[in-house]
A and B are shown apart, each in its own frame.
Chain A
Amino acid sequence: MSKTWWKVLGAILVLYSTVGGLLIGVPRLAILNETIRNLYFHVPMWFAMITLFSISVFYSIMFLLKGEESYDTRAVESVNVGVVFSILGLITGSLWAKYTWGQFWSFDVKQNFSAIAILLYFAYLILRNAIDEEQKRAKISAIYNIFAFPMMVVLIMVLPRLSDSLHPGNGGNPGFNSYDLDSRMRAVLYPAFIGWSIIGFWIYTIRFRIRSIENKQQHN
């Protein structure tokens, strides 16, 4: 039980935020209308992505300090899962944009910068493919991972705030804070953040275990 309680919690939270997100009342806002519900599915993806990339950086630092192979496996698997979440974030965002901004991709700063941030992690994965020797690959990719992380934060969190954007919360558009006034939305959104992060973490632990078994089989 002590090992499974958080998985149960994550499943319940995601279930609750999905059902609640579709049924519980939302404020009536012009243009947004019912699409405001996308908030429950779009923003938690980025939240889960940031969680997973932070885990990855943590294990990259641990690898540089300790040099154990399992830390490297943890770092790369959390990047793998994080990349999936970031792509889901882009997809949910552009589906929403189709109904509010009029097209899937309108070259908004927020869209462009998050796409570039994903490129950063693709570069990380390609760097791993380029090196054959295991120890060397682990070390160099850990260094790149740590070096790239602050740039990812600048791309996603800082730069969009410096320029006008169509995205809620930027350039004078009604943002998170104005929805936040509605306590009904807060009651769904925050559980969704935690729930999706837990699910992301769960997927990452499963992938890590699969990869560890594969590595063990290869060594035998």
Chain B
Amino acid sequence: MQLAKEVKYLIHKEVLLEWRSKYTINGVLLYVVSTIFTCYLSFVSLGDKLTWNALFWIIMLFASINGVSKSFLQETKGQQLYSYILASPAAVLISKMVYNILLMLALTTIALGFYILVFGTYPDTNLLMYYIAIILGAISFSTVFTMVSAIASKAGNGGMLMAILSFPIIIPVLILLIRLAKNAVDGLPWDTSYDEISMLLAVNVVTVATALLLFPYLWRE
């Protein structure tokens, strides 16, 4: 119960901080919109479904690495000390993850809308399944990148390390996501995708569990 209270308080703090400055959400939104627009100017029209799908996920990958890595990398030593005194490490990690999931859900939804507006859709796309792929993507990107950004922030040299450490870890997840999304674009029936969906959920459970076990060691210095 104590944990739930702490998590709720910390999420409230994160949302409030974000609401006051609106820096991350606007920044990443502008990043996504300008990337999509640049892609539109250079591709003009996307030939096939495969490119359509792959391009969207590449944009999402870089947008989320920018958005989520902020969570630990941009905190000052003082802010970290403050939450260290205030709450248990598990609460800090869970609150960051939940906050990032909310942020990424909002972002990816807007990004998908804009992407469809610019590039259009294909007639037999199963949009509901595609949206589920995006929800799963937002969750997995947030959980993995939150933990990796915690590691990178402790190692003390930001962005470069973040990319090196997170790409090999995120690739298996990304491949599953692209495969699920491709099933959706092709309009395949639901039971062809149960494998991917359950694998993604399993990977997320493993990630969150190991992150929760390891984070206390990382947190105390």
Contact = CB atoms under 8 A, between A and B. Distances in A.
Interface stretch (A14-22, A74-82, A155-163, A166-174): A155-163
Interface string A15-45: 0000000000000000000000000000000
B171 A146 contact: no
Contact of B161 (A127, A142, A151): A127
Chain A CB within 10 Å, residue with most, of B148, B157, B172, B199: B172
A140 B218 contact: yes
B151 A140 contact: yes
Interface residues of B, number: 30
A146 B172 contact: no
Contact of B168 (A64, A116, A131, A159): A116
Interface stretch (B107-115, B123-131, B206-214): B206-214
Contacts of B167: 119, 123
Interface in B146-192: 147-148, 151, 154-157, 161, 164-165, 167-169, 171-172, 175-176, 179
A131 B155 contact: yes
Interface of A: 64, 113, 116-117, 119-120, 123, 126-127, 130-131, 136, 139-140, 142-144, 146-148, 150-151, 154-155, 158-159, 162-163
A146 B168 contact: no
A116 B217 CA distance: 27
Nearest to A113: B172
B195 interface: yes
B155 A159 contact: no
Contacts of A148: 168-169
B161 A146 contact: no
B169 A146 contact: no
Contact of B217 (A113, A126, A139, A162): A139
A159 B155 CA distance: 30
Given A119-B168, A162-B179, 17 more contacts: A117-B168, A123-B164, A126-B161, A127-B151, A130-B156, A130-B157, A130-B161, A140-B155, A143-B151, A144-B151, A146-B214, A147-B147, A147-B148, A147-B169, A147-B211, A148-B169, A159-B175
